[in-house]
Amino acid sequence: MGSRGHSEGITMSGGGLYSLATIGAKHVIDAATPIVIEAIDSLPQEAIAQGFTFSDMGTADAGTSLSMVGKAIDAVCARAPDTPITIIYSDQPRNDFNALIANVYGLGSFETYLDRRDHIFPMVSGTTFYKQIVPGGTLDIGFSATAMHWLSNKVCNISNHVQAVGAEGEELAAFRDQAHRDWRQILLHRARELKAGGKLVLINFARDEQDRYLGNTGGVNMFDTFNQIWQDFLQQGRINTTEYENMTLPQYYNTVEEFSAPLQNRDETVYQAGLRLDHIDTRIVACPYAESFAEHGDAARFAEEYIPTIRSWNESIFFSALADARPLEERRQIIEDYYDSYRDMVRANPQGHGMDYVHAYTVISKNVS
């Protein structure tokens, strides 16, 4: 999914496969690159003259952001050619940091920026964005893309669906309240980290003004499809009720109003900590696999290309929903059959399938006063 970061215990595909399987996530970051450059250009000169620190939070294997980080470094050097530049890559401790290091140092499938200059210092942190990652008052630009929809914990199972977009009543309220607490916690830690005048550029999954969200932009609803297949497995006796309900994604998609509230209300602790909303807008980045299918028209190819990007971010959750009492091979077979079912569905009737990305592009500043 283009998810780059996540709550504890949720893992993206390892071995460098995440970025290769999620080209759409890179497109989202590419679209945000001009915003990052503008944020860098707005920084006080005195703030970057003695050193510049950039944080990529929820980075996964760093492959999707390498190009953006390289352009950010160029923008800093255009203003302060000799300033030392620190790039902090952070994610939760179970992240595949071996793949991250391979990508950043040019050992993987991506071109690195490290060969171009001498004063660049990449650092790796196993601290999530639910905690403070760097010392107070040291961060110039904090960046995160497609990560902060992962909640700090799963507050409850959803009894009728696999994601909060299909939840109702008290279950929906529990997810919404947790998401609101998490968003404020994230922002308060960033308020401590930022230098005065520093900026956050946060690109988060959202529900837009037309209630569109990831995989639900007018065609087949991706999350409803997840749920439909999982319910079919329940009805077929492949899984039991507990396993069905355990497959609850610990995610929530905020609206623009929900993202903005703690940054605009003077009574909020986030506002009192000095953070201000500079800009927020929602954008859709089209599913690259659906776009490609519109050109080549090969349904089997589309299915083979599309399913891995879904699998890269949710397989570990489906697998963990299955009872430990099941033999390992049986659990693995259920998961294989699940994705085969989805692949067959797309192959048989490809129209409308796809995972368009719906994000809120947000710029936040730390008050100078």
Q: Residue 280 — very low, low, confident or very high, per pLDDT cuts 50/70/90?
A: very high
Residue closest to 362 by CA, chosen among 202, 233, 255: 202
For residues 275 and 255, what is the distance between their CA atoms, to the nearest angstrom?
Answer: 19
Q: Which of 23-32, 105-114, 267-276, 308-317 has the highest mean pLDDT?
A: 267-276
13 has pLDDT over 50: no
Check: pTM over 0.75? Answer yes or no.
yes
Three-class DSSP labels, 62-85: CHHHHHHHHHHHHHHHHHCCCCCE
For residues 211 and 146, what is the distance between their CA atoms, to the nearest angstrom?
Answer: 18
For residues 96 and 12, what is the distance between their CA atoms, to the nearest angstrom?
Answer: 8
Residue closest to 96 by CA, chosen among 119, 126, 139: 126
Q: Report in angstroms the alpha-carbon separations of 28 from 14, 117, 220.
A: 21, 26, 21
> What percentage of the chain exceeds 70 in pLDDT?
94
pLDDT of residue 306: 94
Q: What would the mean pLDDT of 209-218 be, rounded to a whole number?
A: 96
Strand-strand pairing, 120-125 and 85-90 = parallel
228 has pLDDT over 90: yes
Count CA atoms closer than 13 A to 275's CA, side-chain side: 33
Residue type, 131: K
Please, what are the domains in the chain?
A: 17-211+250-286+356-366 (3.40.50.150)
20 has pLDDT over 60: no
- CB atoms under 10 Å from CB of 204, counted, come to 22
pLDDT digits (tens, 9 = 90+) for 56-105: 999 999 999 999 999 999 999 999 999 999 999 999 999 999 999 999 99
Q: Residue 8 — very low, low, confident or very high, per pLDDT cuts 50/70/90?
A: very low
pLDDT digits (tens, 9 = 90+) for 297-314: 999 999 999 999 899 889
Neighbour-count burial for 248-279, b at 16+ CB within 10 Å, e otherwise:
bbbbbbbbbebbbbbbeeeebebbebbbebbe
Name the burial class of residue 151, with classes exposed (0-12), middle (13-18) and buried (19+) by CB atoms within 10 angstroms of its CB. buried
Count CA atoms closer than 13 A to 160's CA, side-chain side: 8
Task: Decide if 359 contacts 1 (C-beta within 8 A).
Answer: no
pLDDT of residue 19: 46
Q: What would the mean pLDDT of 360-369 be, rounded to a whole number?
A: 92
Tokens of 195: 């230098």
pLDDT of residue 109: 77
55 has pLDDT over 80: yes
174 has pLDDT over 90: yes
Mean pLDDT taken over the chain? 93
For residues 97 and 91, what is the distance between their CA atoms, to the nearest angstrom?
Answer: 9
pLDDT digits (tens, 9 = 90+) for 135-152: 999 999 999 999 999 999
Tokens of 332: 């693995």
